[in-house]
Amino acid sequence: MSTPAVQGASILVVDDSRTNREVLSQYLTQEGYQVYTAINGQQALELADADRHDLILLDVVMPKPDGYEVLSHLKSHATLRHIPVIMISALDQLDSVVKGIEMGAEDYLPKPFNPVLLRARIGACLEKKHLRDQEMHYVTELKRTQTKLIQSEKMSSLGQMVAGLAHEVNNPINFIYGNLKPAQEYIQDLLTIIHSYQTSYPTPKAELQDLLEDLEIDFIEEDIFKIMKSMRVGAERIRDLVLSLRNFSRLDEAEMKPAHLEEGIDSTLLILRHQLGEQNDYLPIEVIKDYGQVPETMCYPSQLNQVFMNILNNAIDAVRENGAVTNPQIHIKTLLHGDDKIRVKITDNGCGVADGIKSQIFDPFFTTKPVGSGQGLGLSICYQIVVDKHQGRLWCRSKPGQGSEFTIEIPYCSPGQEEYPH
């Protein structure tokens, strides 16, 4: 009998001899395998492409396409090449067996069939495939874990750098902002003195009169306060940006913190303001915010900010790629869904996602962007943060040419709770 590792494995038997097919099918079924049969090479290729089998028993001598041609097609196919193939050959056809193995066959079975040899070679071949599948699974998991660690380290370093930069900028901008008001008062005092002097001495000496005319005191008096106002507006914008950077890069991955998701979205939008504006041949993107004033919730704020950043970046790219859009828009809606879920919906009127790849967009390393434009990790990391870290859900609705809607859903966790309710 087969071992538990290969019990119930799917085996495709390809032989133009009805007798051989029936003998193999009966024996393999008794051994606990799922058996499929093909009477020629063309049918074998169709069955192999339609269903993923664990092993193929392939006769060498068949009408066109013969066993070699079928084997060549299987080994050149991206997804079928990993299916092990055992060539079936008469004892006097050893040269053809060698040729098959050189082309990629796993083993061979001589005719007439010996039950002991048949069981041993099929069992060994399936065990080897099982071990290879396990190895590929472990490698994939290791690669995914390595990617998460690298990204986590990158975000930690980026967070520290941004936090440090925000601190360095914050001190001088506070100095400038704090001195604007007294500077304006000093200027007002000086202008008051000048006005008093002009009232007391309406006819100054000729030299002083020439100097006053050259300086255009009236214009300076009018313009100086406009300059001070623009300096104040600029300083306030820098302060807002610094606050957003500090909010965005909060180094709090180790534990949950109370946060307002809408503040995180606003901070992210401020950082993306330049990308949302008019650029080269692109129109500015209108951002429509429909906030439901969702309550403060326990979460990992900086990680959710990363989710907002990645999805909004994708939305910007999608809108830019849709050249037919005359009113590029991104709509952001927040709401409390029921009593225990918070949802954030980010909708764009961009190019949309093709139906054929919609199921792959959250897979690691999947990307539709040109080489060098990204590693295809953004949405995969978003999925890990929302689903794994926050026990939430993340999904996408999209139609090609009509835009996409990404929905982020996390459990509502009132401040003070240390873990999500189950």
Residue 282 carries which DSSP code? B
Architecture of the structural domain at 10-113: 3-Layer(aba) Sandwich (3.40)
Residue 294: per-residue pLDDT: 93
For residue 85, give the 3-state DSSP assignment.
Answer: strand
Provide the pLDDT for residue 188.
87
> Tens digit of pLDDT for each residue in 295-322?
999 998 888 988 998 899 889 988 988 7
Please report, for residues 94, 164, 194, 215, 307, the alpha-carbon distance to residue 90 in angstroms, rounded to integers and kept in the order given: 8, 75, 115, 109, 61
Q: What is the CB-side half-sphere exposure of residue 69 using CA atoms within 13 A? A: 12
Question: What is the DSSP annotation of 323-339?
Answer: TT-SS-EEEEEEEEETT
Residue 324: per-residue pLDDT: 66
Could you report how far apart the first and last alpha carbons of the chain are, in Å?
Answer: 44
| Residue in the structure block whose two tokens are 């008469």 | 90
What local confidence, expressed as pLDDT, does residue 91 receive?
A: 58
Pairing of strands 85-90, 55-59: parallel
- Give the pLDDT confidence of 163-205 residue by residue, as tens digits: 666 666 667 777 787 888 888 888 888 888 888 888 888 887 8
Name all contacts of 417-420 with Cβ < 8 Å and 24+ positions apart.
417/298, 418/256, 418/298, 419/256, 420/298, 420/390, 420/391
Contact by Cβ (8 Å): 20, 45: no
Distance CA 177, CA 335 (A): 36
10-113 and 253-262+269-411 share one fold = no
Rounded CA-CA distance 387/370 in Å is 28
Domain ranges for the chain: 10-113, 156-247, 253-262+269-411
Q: What is the pLDDT along the chain (422 residues), one digit of tens a residue?
A: 455 556 788 899 999 889 888 999 998 998 889 999 999 888 888 888 888 889 999 888 888 888 888 898 888 887 788 889 998 887 566 777 788 888 888 888 888 888 888 888 888 888 888 888 887 877 777 666 666 655 555 555 555 556 666 666 667 777 787 888 888 888 888 888 888 888 888 887 888 888 877 877 778 888 888 888 888 887 877 777 676 666 665 544 557 889 999 999 998 898 888 888 887 778 899 999 999 989 999 998 888 988 998 899 889 988 988 766 788 999 999 999 988 999 999 999 998 887 767 667 777 555 655 444 444 457 888 888 899 889 999 999 988 888 999 999 999 988 866 666 55
Q: Which CATH architecture has domain 253-262+269-411?
A: 2-Layer Sandwich (3.30)
CA–CA separation, 89 and 316 (whole Å): 60
pLDDT at position 382 is 86
